[in-house]
Chain A
Amino acid sequence: MRVAEASPAIPVVPSRNLVEVRGLSTVLGSKTIFDGVDLDIARGKVTAIMGPSGCGKTTLLRHITGQRAPDAGSIRIDGADVPRLSRQALFDLREKIGFLFQNSALLTDFSVFENVAFPLRQHLDLPEPLVRNIVLTKLQAVGLRGAADLMPAELSGGMARRVALARAIIRDPMLILYDEPFVGLDPIALNQIVKLIRTLNDTLGVTSILVAHEFSAVTRVADHVVLLAGGRVAAQGTPSELAHGESPWTRQFFGGEADGPVPFQYPAGDYAADLGFPAAGAA
């Protein structure tokens, strides 16, 4: 019956995973950020990467986009091994990736319209009416068609992030990465971004990776949650599986306990000695 298992594994259909990370290891300064991380990002799904501050979530995004090479391990996007790509091949790959920066990173010299049109103008030689229509459609999708003529300095934080989102999807990417998309937003703007991420994922059929802290927002948007801690994947699963997980990591992270596997105290020397008291042993 099980013929497929007996025959040699020749992949005819593309892998179920768009991004595959294997044995990722990174040391920044004297700190080990990743210690053999294995991670799969499923196609067409929203995957949230969570973890305590400083656990390397943003670094992971930088590895995936090739902005930073890891010390060891491989990162495959659609079969291409990112750290080993030439600069040209990396740029070709990035044309198919949208990236939403935490601070939006809009080009301050250009209007909202020109910001969104920027990737089109740089890479494609399209007639102006077509550029205009594509840009206005994307702006309409994020609800800011009326703001096309504003400058970035005139936008609120939530609006700037939506403009950046329109810019990230202007070329219909296969993968969108969101770096802390919910930080610093009021509840209304946060709900708008949550809704946008979900609708974009479902209507465009893209794969989304988002790095976030806000578990309530993540439960509404993510299909799969990965908890990074201590340089490894501490737990993963659907949001509800993680919320009821039994591992000390998930309990501390989702239960919001101040102390646990992630210590409240930053590593330091003996407290009494630091304050100038005689060492505890000598007393």
Chain B
Amino acid sequence: MRRVSRPSAVGDALAQVGACGLFLLQILAALPGSLRHVRETVRQVWFAGAMSLVIIMTCGLFVGMVLGLQLYYVLSIFGGTAALGTVVSLSLYRELGPVVTALLFAGRAGTSMTAEIGLMRATDQLDAMEMMAVDPLAYVVAPRFLAGIIAMPLLACIFNALGIFGAHLVGVSWLGLDNGTFWSNMTSSVDVWKDVVNGVWKSVAFGAVVALIAVFQGYTTPPTSEGVAYATTRTVVASSIVVLALDFVMTAFLM
């Protein structure tokens, strides 16, 4: 039924975007119905959020440590190592935190959403829910979509915190930068609204986009093992491209 004539790869991609947009409208229409399933939403936030903590925290720590090392080296050329805290925190809050978290989230939580919903489709579980008069959009899809929107900003904040801790570890504890300089320069130059909150908005948008792509791919996958495999791959590829493109657009608007 969804098979339309496919003139080209571009046409195919555009058709997917259109179908994905329509799917978003369906999810939004199902949101009131999904309020009955608060427990399911909480479970999904736990699954997509809490279960992603290990990878987010580890990566945040290492990204921060690398940033600390690289920037210390660059700043030392200009004799400006005192600005390390400022530069690290701004790059994390404004760009790296939301973007890297979104990419990791797509790989960790997005793929499992796609595979789970795809397998539910393949084993008739979604049809079974329909037959039990339970709307799968409200029970399965909407809670996962909400979970993405809720979990992503929280994960990005944790990523930022660990990143700054990592930079502090490298810059202050290892390379001997003054602890007071590190923190005071950071606090005086980072603006809560312009830097921190704008980053949070970004990650809210990324959460919505990644979760939408993941549930869309899972829901519309052909019910075969190959179909589920392709859908999972497409989730990661499409999420990554859309997150980076959207990041550019949002940065231009939020500057």
Q: Which of B128-136, B148-156, B235-243, B246-254 is the interface stretch? A: B128-136
Given contacts A107-B125, A108-B125, contact A99 B131 (CB under 8 A): yes
- The reply on B123 being an interface residue by CB < 8 A is yes
Task: A180 to B236: give the CA distance in the assembly, Å.
Answer: 38
- Across the interface, B123 reaches (CB within 8 A) one of A91, A94, A103, A118, namely A103
Contact check, B133 vs A105: say whether CB atoms are below 8 A apart.
no
Residue of A nearest to B116 (CB): A109
A105 touches B123 (CB 8 A): yes
User: In residues 87-140 of chain B, which contact A (Cβ within 8 Å)?
Assistant: 119, 123-125, 127-135, 139
Please classify how large the interface on chain B is, using the bins under 10, 10 to 19, 20 to 34, 35 or more: 10 to 19
Residue from B123, B127, B128, B133 within 8 A of A95 (CB atoms): B133
CA distance A105 to B134 in the complex (A): 14
Is A97 part of the contact surface with B, judged by Cβ < 8 Å? yes
Q: B135 and A103: CB pair below 8 A?
A: no
Decide if B124 touches A97 in the complex (CB within 8 Å). no
CB-based contact A67/B133 at 8 Å: no
Residue of A nearest to B130 (CB): A67
Task: Find out whether the CB atom of B125 lies under 8 angstroms from the CB atom of A118.
Answer: no
With known contacts A103-B123, A108-B123, A97–B131 Cβ distance under 8 A: yes
Chain A residue contacts of B123, Cβ below 8 A: 103, 105, 108
Interface of B is mostly: helix
B133 touches A123 (CB 8 A): yes
**Most A Cβ at <10 Å: residue of B127, B128, B129, B134:** B128
In whole angstroms, how far apart are the Cα atoms of A107 and B124 in the complex? 9
One digit per residue, 1 when the CB lies within 8 angstroms of any chain B CB and 0 when it does not, for chain A 77-105 equals 00000000000000110110101010101
Is B132 touching A65 in the complex (CB atoms < 8 A)? no
B125 touches A122 (CB 8 A): no
A44 at the binding interface (Cβ < 8 Å): no
Query: Which chain B residue shows the least CB distance to A97?
Result: B131
In the complex, A160 Cα to B255 Cα: how many Å?
58
Q: How far is the CB of B133 from chain A (nearest CB, A)?
A: 4
Interface pair A119/B130, CB less than 8 Å apart: no
Does B133 lie within 8 Å of A91, measured CB to CB? yes
Q: How far is the CA of A226 from the CA of B128 in the complex (A)?
A: 25
Q: How far, in whole Å, are A118 and B37 apart by their CA atoms in the complex?
A: 12
Q: What CA separation (Å) do A118 and B131 show in the bound complex? A: 12
Alpha-carbon distance A65/B123, docked complex (angstroms): 19
Tell me the smallest distance from the CB of A19 to a CB of chain B, in Å.
Answer: 16
For B139, list chain A residues within 8 Å (CB): 122
Shortest C-beta distance, A151 to chain B (Å), equals 14
Please state if A65 and B131 are interface contacts (CB–CB under 8 Å): yes
**Which 7 residue pairs of A and B lie closest in terms of their CB atoms, listed nearest first?**
A105-B128, A105-B124, A91-B133, A99-B131, A94-B133, A95-B133, A119-B132
Q: B residues engaging A (CB < 8 A)? A: 119, 123-125, 127-135, 139
7 more A-B contacts (CB under 8 A) besides A101-B128, A106-B125?
A94-B131, A97-B131, A101-B124, A105-B124, A119-B134, A122-B132, A122-B134
**Chain A residues packing against B (C-beta within 8 Å):** 65, 67, 91-92, 94-95, 97, 99, 101, 103, 105-108, 118-119, 122-123, 167
